[in-house]
Structure 1
Amino acid sequence: MKYSLNDDWFFTRYFDTELMTLPGDQWENFEKVRLPHSVQLFPRNYCNEDDYQMVSTYMRHLDIKKEWEGKNITLFFEGAAHEATVYCNGQEICRHGCGYTAFEADITDAVVFGGQNTVAVRLDSRESLNVPPFGGQIDYLTFGGLYRQVWLLVRENSHFKDVFVRAEMDGMMEIQIRGVHTENTVIRGHVLDREKKEAAAISERPFADKIVLKPENIKPWTLSQPWLYTLSLEMVRDGAVVDSLNVRFGFRTVAFTDQGFFLNGKRCKLRGLNRHQSWPYMGYGVPARGQRLDADILKRKLGCNAVRTSHYPQSQDFIDRCDELGLLVFTEIPGWQHIGDEAWKNQAMENVREMVTQYRNHPSIFMWGVRINESADDDEFYERTNAIARSLDPSRPTGGVRCIKNSRLLEDVYTYNDFVHSGHNAGCEAKKNVTSDMSKGYMITEYCGHMFPTKNYDCEEHRTEHALRHARVLADVGKNRDIAGSFGWCMFDYNTHRDFGSGDRVCYHGVMDMFRNPKLAAAVYASQQNKTPVLEVSSSMDIGDHPAGQLGKVIVFTNGDFVRLYKNDEYVGSYGPSPAYGGMKHPPVIIEDTVGSLLERKEGYDQKTARMVKDCLYGVVKYGPDGLPKKLRLKMAWLLAVKHIDQGKMRELFGKYIGGWGEKHRTWRFEAVRGGQVIAVRERLPFEGMILDIHSDTKVLVDGPAWDMATVNFSARDTCGNVLNYCQNGISLRTEGPIELCGPAQTSLCGGWGGCYVRTVGAAGTGRLYVKMEGMEEKLVAFTVKKGEGVNDGFNKI
Structure 2
Amino acid sequence: MMSERIYLNDDWKFAEQFEASMTEAAYDDSTMQNVRIPHTCKETPLHYFDEHCYQMISGYRRVIEAEKAWEGKKILLTIDGAAHDSEVFLNGEKVGEHHCGYTAFTMDISGVLRYGEKNILVVKVDSREDLNIPPFGYVIDYMTYGGIYRDVYLDIKNKDYIEDIFIRTNIGQMDDQNAELISEVTVQRTQEGLFLKQSLKNKKTGEYQPLGESEISGTSMQLSYLVENVILWELEHPELYEVKTELICDGKLMDERIDRIGFRRAEFKKDGFYLNGKKIKLRGLNRHQSYPYAGYAMPKSMQQLDADILKRELGVNAVRTSHYPQSHYFIERCDEIGLLVFTEIPGWQHIGDAAWKDQAVENVRDMVKQYRNHTSIILWGVRINESQDDDAFYRRTNEAAHEFDDSRSTGGVRANRKSSLLEDVYTYNDFVHDGKAKGCEPKKNVTSDMEKPYLISEYNGHMYPTKTFDWEEHRAEHALRHANVLDAVAAEEDIAGCFGWCMFDYNTHKDFGSGDRICYHGVMDMFRNPKLAAAVYACQQEKEPVLELSSSMDIGEHPGCNRGETYIFTNADKVRMYKNDRFIKEYSAADSPYTHLKHGPILIDDFIGDALQEEHMKPGQEAGVKKALNAFTRFGFAKLPKSIYATGIWLILRYHMNMEEAVRLYNKYIGDWGGTSTTYRFEAVMVDVSTRQERVVKTIIKEPMTERKISAVADHENLIDAESYDVAEVRIQAQDEHGNILPFYNEPLTFETEGPIEIIGPKTVALQGGMGGAYVKSKRLQPGEKQNAALIIRDCDTEIKIGFTVQSERNI
TM over 0.5: yes
Q: 1:456 and 2:477 equivalent?
A: no
Q: Compute the displacement of 1:672 (Å).
A: 1.8
Match for residue 743 of structure 1 among 755, 761, 764: 761
Partner of 1:784: 805
Q: Which amino acid aligns with 1:341?
A: D
Please, which of 377, 391, 401 is the counterpart of residue 365 of structure 1?
377
Q: TM-score, normalised by structure 1?
A: 0.97
Matched, 1:9 2:22: no
- C-alpha distance in 2, partners of 1:123/1:626? 62
Against the structure 1 CA distance between its residues 620 and 242, is the aligned structure 2 distance closer, same or farther, given a 3 Å change threshold? Answer: closer
- Larger CA deviation: 763-772 vs 745-754: 763-772
Deviations 1:197-235 (A, max 9, x none): 246413333126110011111101010100000111111
Quote the residue 1:613 is aligned against: 625
Distance between the aligned counterparts of 1:389 and 1:739, measured in 2? 43
What is the TM-score normalised by the length of structure 2? 0.95
Once the two structures are TM-superposed, the CA of residue 429 in structure 1 deviates from its matched residue by 0.5
Provide the residue aligned with 1:792 in structure 2. Answer: none
Letter in 1 for 2:788: T
Matches within 5 A, 1:135-214: 135-170=137-172, 171-181=179-189, 182-198=191-207, 200-207=209-216, 209-214=221-226
Structure 2 counterparts to residues 48-197 of structure 1, below 5 A: 48-170=50-172, 171-181=179-189, 182-197=191-206
Q: Secondary structure at the match of 1:95?
A: strand
What is the match of residue 738 of structure 2?
720
| Higher mean C-alpha displacement, 148-157 vs 618-627 | 618-627
Q: 5 Å matches for 1:604-683?
A: 604-618=616-630, 620=632, 632=644, 635-640=647-652, 642-675=654-687, 676-683=694-701
Structure-to-structure mapping, 1:580-599, within 5 angstroms: 580-599=593-612
Q: 2:268 aligns with which of 256, 265, 268?
A: 256
Work out the CA distance in 1 between the residues paired with 2:360 and 2:650: 75
Does the 8 Å CA contact 1:76/1:152 hold for their aligned counterparts? yes
**What is the correspondence of 1:511-530 to structure 2 with a 5 Å cutoff?**
511-530=523-542
For 1:612 and 1:153, locate their aligned partners in 2 and report how far apart those are by CA, in whole Å: 79
Alpha-carbon distance in 1 for matches of 2:295, 2:109: 30
Q: Indicate yes or no: 2:556 matched with 1:544.
A: yes
Corresponding residue to 1:227 among 226, 239, 242: 239
CA distance in 1, matches of 2:640, 2:307: 53
For 2:791 and 2:642, the matched residues in 1 are separated by 65
Shift of 1:670: 0.9
Give the conservation status (yes or no) of the 8 Å contact 1:200–1:215: no
Q: Does 1:415 align with 2:430?
A: no
What whole-Å deviation, never above 9, does each CA across 1:675-715 have from its counterpart, x for those lacking one?
A: 24322211101110101011000010000000000000110
Take 1:163 and 1:474, find their aligned partners in 2: how far apart are those partners? 39
The alignment status of 1:467 with 2:469, answered yes or no, reads no
Residue 402 (1) aligns with residue 414 (2): yes
SS at structure 1 position matched to 2:163: strand
Query: What CA distance in whole angstroms lies between the structure 2 residues aligned with 1:364 and 1:435?
Result: 26
Query: Closer, same or farther in 2 for the Cα pair 1:633/1:500, shift >3 Å?
Result: closer
**For the Cα contact (< 8 Å) 1:725–1:751, is it kept in 2?**
yes
Is the 2:562–2:634 contact (alpha carbons within 8 Å) kept by the matching residues of 1? no
Cα deviation for residue 434 of structure 1 reads 0.2
Equivalent position amino acid for 2:790 in 1: R
| Correspondence for 2:24 among 13, 21, 24 | 21
Return the alpha-carbon distance in structure 1 between the equivalents of residues 69 and 642 of structure 2. 98
Q: How many residues align?
A: 788
For the 8 Å contact 2:566–2:603, the answer to whether it is kept is yes
The unaligned stretches of length 5 or more in structure 1 are: 790-795
Displacement of 1:619 in angstroms is 5.2
Contact 1:256 1:397 in 2 (8 A): yes
Name 1:771's counterpart in structure 2.
793
Q: How does 1:203-352 map to 2 (within 5 A)?
A: 203-207=212-216, 209-352=221-364
What is the DSSP-based 3-state SS (H/G/I as helix, E as strand, rest coil) of the residue aligned with 1:521?
helix
Deviation sequence 1:293-325 (CA, Å, 0-9, x none): 000000000000000000000000000000000
2:449 is the counterpart of 1:437: yes
In structure 2, relative to structure 1, the CA distance for the partners of 1:623 and 1:460 (3 Å cut) is closer
Spell out, residue by residue over 1:260-290, the C-alpha distance to the aligned partner (whole angstroms, 9 max, x if none): 0000111000000000000000000000000
CA–CA distance in structure 1, aligned partners of residues 117 and 98 of structure 2: 27
Kindly provide the amino acid, as one letter, of the partner of residue 11 in structure 2: D
Tell me the alpha carbon deviations over residues 658-680 of structure 1, each in whole angstroms, 9 at most, x when there is no partner.
21111222100111223243222
What amino acid is the match of 1:580?
P
CA distance in 2, matches of 1:419, 1:502: 19
Name the stretch that deviates more: 11-20 or 391-400: 11-20
Q: How far apart are 1:626 and its partner, in Å?
A: 8.7
Q: Distance in 1 between matches of 2:286 and 2:323?
A: 9
Are the equivalent residues in 1 in contact too, given 2:564–2:635 (CA < 8 A)?
no
Q: Does 1:760 align with 2:782?
A: no
CA distance in 2, matches of 1:194, 1:606: 70
Is it true that 1:699 corresponds to 2:707 in the alignment?
no
CA contact (8 A) 1:562 1:589 kept: no
Separation (CA, whole Å) in 2 of partners of 1:626 and 1:179 = 77
Mapped contact 2:150–2:297 kept (Cα < 8 A): yes
Deviates more, 1:69-78 or 1:486-495: 69-78
1:28 counterpart letter in structure 2: S
CA contact (8 A) 1:398 1:412 kept: yes
Residues 628 and 685 from structure 1, CA distance in 2 versus in 1: closer, same or farther, beyond 3 angstroms? closer
Q: Find the residue that maps to 1:321 and give its secondary structure.
A: helix
Paired residue secondary structure (1:28): coil
- Residues 199 and 215 in structure 1, CA contact (< 8 A), matched pair in contact too: no
Q: Distance in 1 between matches of 2:256 and 2:165?
A: 11
Q: Is the 8 A contact 1:563 1:589 kept in 2?
A: no
For the aligned residues, what is the CA RMSD? Answer: 1.6
**Which range is displaced more, 187-196 or 552-561?**
187-196
| Higher mean C-alpha deviation, range 606-615 or range 76-85 | 606-615
Structure 1 residue 617: Cα displacement: 2.8
